[in-house]
Amino acid sequence: MGEVILVQSGYSRSHENGELLCDSVPLRVIAETYGTPTYVYSANTIRDRYNALSDALTGVLGSSKFRLHFAMKSNSNLSILGLLRGLGAGVDIVSGGELFRALKAGYTGVDVVFSGVGKTDEEITAALKAGIKSLNVESPAELEAIQRVAESLGVVAPLSFRVNPDVYVDSPHPYIKTGEHGMKFGIPDDQIVELTKRTLELPNVRLVGLAAHMGSQIAQAEPYGITAKKLLDLANEIRALGVTTLRYMDLGGGIGVTYENESPMNLIAFANAIAPYVIESGLELELEPGRFLVAESGALLAQVVYRKRSGGKDIFITDTGMNDLIRPALYEAYHAIDSVSPVENQIVADIVGPVCESGDFFALDRTVGEVEQGGYYALRGAGAYGYVMASNYNSRGRPAEVLVDGDRYGLISRRETHEDLLKLEYDTPLWNIE
């Protein structure tokens, strides 16, 4: 491989021939091998991210233990889960489906924490049967449900309160904030002591931790420090009630990444902001990073199907759409767009998908490389909340997924076929008669 120009961690442009590479594999080769649209992930980038966060924490936590529980809602492919498991990660799950996947990927109960505001009896049952590390409880009603299910199974359920710390974070979009009172997430911090008293009356639950998650794409360390301090204070109040079972302080996910020109989280500042409170609490730290570990590892490859002009604008129509990557349509999110092969010119254009919605675009009036019809673009920063949020809208099958590891590349999920799209359906109803 010749000299390369770094585009972003995991992605670079070859000096020799101008091709965009993921690790050392040309993206054009992947597009030609598997077709498009296809998601690509750099294994090395995921490893680097995991190690960077781990190293920053190891540096300041002294003898306090910590564990990274990957928020698998951000990318739940079995191969990605396997890669992270190999690095030592646990998982943060939010559904019975994610539990099923995590177990299939080789995680065991002790690797799993379970967040989510609407856990059903069925999901609580599956979690308790798997022996998970902690159910992160998000309401008093859920506490009662867990007691009821645990009693019927004859087990004691380990649980953490997911505290809503009422901390403001500067997320780029209101849909990815969670940590303020009045939002559906967590139990308001001023209700925690009362609820602890209630747990002491319940024989089939054991309070093992305090958790919080403030939101997503957070670039500042301060809110984490404020939340850690709140959890430390609550831990002290709870211990004063005679509770001796607290073991974990879970500060959630949310660590921000660079999509455009945002400054990334300073990991040393992050670790320093939380360390004093974690150490003083004597609790083991848990974090639930999703985006941070996988977002920048991923790109979505798309082929230019047509190009046209309208209203004085150039419009490039690609074969990938909002059904494959919904973040621009849902959050007005920015994803960098690079030509996969070298181009002569830059052009200001709209890059859009084929879906029958005006909101089906990836960029408007963006300066991009001028790719010929049949050429490829790479939409970067697509490793988190990309494939997992894909749908079959317009009866479009979901893309293929490919993992790159150094100079190797391989399929980690095949493209969905038209046949796949019909496999749950009946062409006449299975009638019942009342």
Closest CA to 27 of 215, 262, 344, 299: 299
CB distance 147 to 121 below 8 Å: no
Secondary structure (3-state) at 224: helix
| 22 flagged as catalytic | no
**Binding flag, residue 334, ligand LLP (CB under 6 A):** no
**Binding flag, residue 289, ligand LLP (CB under 6 A):** yes
> At a CB cut-off of 8 Å and minimum separation 6, what does 194 contact?
none
Residue with tokens 């301090």: 229
Q: Which two tokens stand for residue 202?
A: 């319940």
Compare residues 74 and 76 and give the one whose CB is closer to ligand LLP.
Answer: 74
CB atoms within 10 A of CB 156: 16
> At a CB cut-off of 8 Å and minimum separation 6, what does 265 contact?
218, 219, 220, 221, 255, 256, 257, 292
CB distance 85 to 108 below 8 Å: no
Q: Which two tokens stand for residue 27?
A: 């993206």
**Binding flag, residue 74, ligand LLP (CB under 6 A):** yes
Instruction: Enumerate residues 207-236 that contact ligand LLP by CB under 6 A.
Output: 213, 216
Mask 92-111, x = binds ligand LLP (CB under 6 A)?
A: x-------------------
Compare residues 230 and 291 and give the one whose CB is closer to ligand LLP.
Answer: 291
CA distances from 143 to 129, 242, 246 (A): 17, 19, 16
Compare residues 22 and 219 and give the one whose CB is closer to ligand LLP.
Answer: 219
Compare residues 19 and 324 and give the one whose CB is closer to ligand LLP.
Answer: 324
Strands, E assignment, 154-297: 157-164, 187-188, 205-211, 248-250, 284-287
**Binding flag, residue 291, ligand LLP (CB under 6 A):** yes
Catalytic one of 6, 141, 356, 430: 356
**Binding flag, residue 71, ligand LLP (CB under 6 A):** yes
Mask 115-144, x = binds ligand LLP (CB under 6 A)?
A: x-----------------------------
Compare residues 28 and 291 and give the one whose CB is closer to ligand LLP.
Answer: 291
Tell whether omega for the bond before 37 is within 30 degrees of 0, i.e. cis: yes
Compare residues 115 and 339 and give the one whose CB is closer to ligand LLP.
Answer: 115
Residue from 10, 26, 96, 290 touching ligand LLP (CB under 6 A): that is 290
CB atoms within 10 A of CB 368: 21
**Binding flag, residue 172, ligand LLP (CB under 6 A):** no
Stretch near ligand LLP under the rule CB under 6 A, chosen from 32-40, 249-257, 343-351, 354-362: 249-257
**Binding flag, residue 325, ligand LLP (CB under 6 A):** no
**Binding flag, residue 67, ligand LLP (CB under 6 A):** no
Report the alpha-carbon distance of residue 399 to residue 35 in Å, rounded.
9
Shortest CB 382 distance to ligand LLP, Å: 10
> So which residues are the catalytic ones?
356
The site for ligand LLP (CB under 6 A) is made up of 71, 74, 92, 115, 176, 213, 216, 252-255, 288-292, 327, 331, 384-385
